[in-house]
Amino acid sequence: MSYFSVQGVSKFYGSRQALAPISLDLAKGEFLSIVGESGSGKSTLLRIMAGLEVQDGGKVFLEEKEIQSPKHKVVAGYPEIKLIHQDFHLFPNSTVAENIARPLLQFDKAYALERVEILLNLLGLKELRERMPRELSGGQQQKVAIAKALSVEPEVLLLDEPFSSLDTIQKQRLIRELKSGFMGMGTTIIFVTHDLDEALRLTDNLMILQAGNVVQRGNSQVLCQQPQSKYVARLFSPINQISNTAHTYIRPTDVKLRSKGGLLAHVEESRFLVHFNSLQIRLKETGELWEVDDPQRKYQIGDRVYLTWDEGKVMVLK
């Protein structure tokens, strides 16, 4: 048996199936990101993993121990599994160090003090130890909430869209700091998000969830280059449909722009992005609108262009 195991877990809300039977095996210290849009079942799956939600089928195990739902347990949840939300749940009148130490009140005092110091250092909070939550940024508060959850040394850490309330700069800084802090901890971590970029900044070990179903799992390179559905392909970039009957598609970055020879089109729109211009191009033959990358920023609105591509880059998707 794997270290942390989800075996055929399913969930219904009335007649609606929120989770099809899902199975998942993780090794100790493994880091997995689950990506899916709102309503895909991500949060429900995490709550079942944490023993906070009643499933309709299947079981969850931490090593040999079954994680029971609130239906079979007087006090829901397990200290070995910590779930972190976007809500910080900090004590407003306690300092950073005091918040981290709260779950350790019943532990040996020397151990508690040592554990707090370890987490302050690990998550870069040492200089903030005497501050109150109201004196912290959103990203700093989230780090304190994560440190608080880690204080009791959980075996599994579940992160449920923890960055959704942060602005882009705060989010990127926090992800960078957390990735550094998580390395070498040995804690099994499952992170769920609707934002693929967030997931990839933390780990390239991905599982894609759509409407309660696992549609693909693997590393980011495999999912990007060998997507098994249009849904997975579009997570990484827009896709252009070459043929409706053959179900063939090409990514904007894989389309080559030529001054002659190829599929005739005209540039209708050009947007300046950091590394390239993104062009909206109207195909003359079909009238379809394609999105194409222009890394040399060569073409302008109104220009006539010809499109070609490497057949090895064509994706067959349904």
Any idea where the domains of the chain sit in the sequence?
4-230, 238-316
By DSSP bridging, strand 289-294 and strand 213-219 are: unpaired
Residue 229 in 3-state DSSP?
coil
> pTM for the full model?
0.89
By DSSP bridging, strand 57-62 and strand 4-13 are: antiparallel
Residue closest to 193 by CA, chosen among 224, 159, 221, 220: 159
Residue-by-residue pLDDT tens, the chain, 318 positions: 589 999 999 999 999 999 999 999 999 999 999 999 999 999 999 999 999 999 999 999 999 899 999 999 889 999 999 998 877 789 999 999 999 999 999 999 999 999 999 999 988 899 999 999 999 998 899 889 989 998 998 999 999 998 887 788 888 888 888 887 787 678 999 999 999 999 999 999 999 999 999 999 999 999 999 999 999 999 999 999 998 889 999 999 999 999 899 999 999 999 999 999 999 999 999 999 999 999 999 999 999 999 999 999 999 998
* Sole residue written with tokens 């880059």: 313
Q: Which CATH superfamily is domain 238-316 in?
A: Nucleic acid-binding proteins (2.40.50.140)
Residue 212 in 3-state DSSP?
coil
Task: Produce one character per residue of 182-216: b if its CB has 16 or more CB atoms within 10 Å, e if not.
Answer: beeeebbbbbbbbebebbbbbbbbbbbbbebebbb
Q: Which two three-digit tokens encode residue 80?
A: 């070995």
Residue 287: predicted pLDDT:
95
Residue 19: predicted pLDDT:
97
Select the CATH number that applies to the domain covering 4-230 from these four: 3.30.590.10, 3.40.50.10800, 3.40.50.720, 3.40.50.300.
3.40.50.300
R_g (Cα) of the chain, nearest Å: 24
Residue 1: predicted pLDDT:
57
Give the angle subtended at the CA of 249 by the CAs of 244 and 272, to the nearest 5°: 125
By DSSP bridging, strand 304-309 and strand 255-258 are: antiparallel
Give the angle subtended at the CA of 233 by the CAs of 229 and 239, to the nearest 5°: 115
Residue 274 in 3-state DSSP?
coil
CA distance 294 to 285: 21
Q: How buried is 113 (Cβ within 10 angstroms: 0-12 exposed, 13-18 middle, 19+ buried)?
A: middle
CB–CB of 149/82 below 8 Å?
A: yes
CA distance 163 to 99: 20
CA distance 31 to 28: 9
CA 271 to chain centre: 27
Q: Residue 54 gets which letter from DSSP? A: -
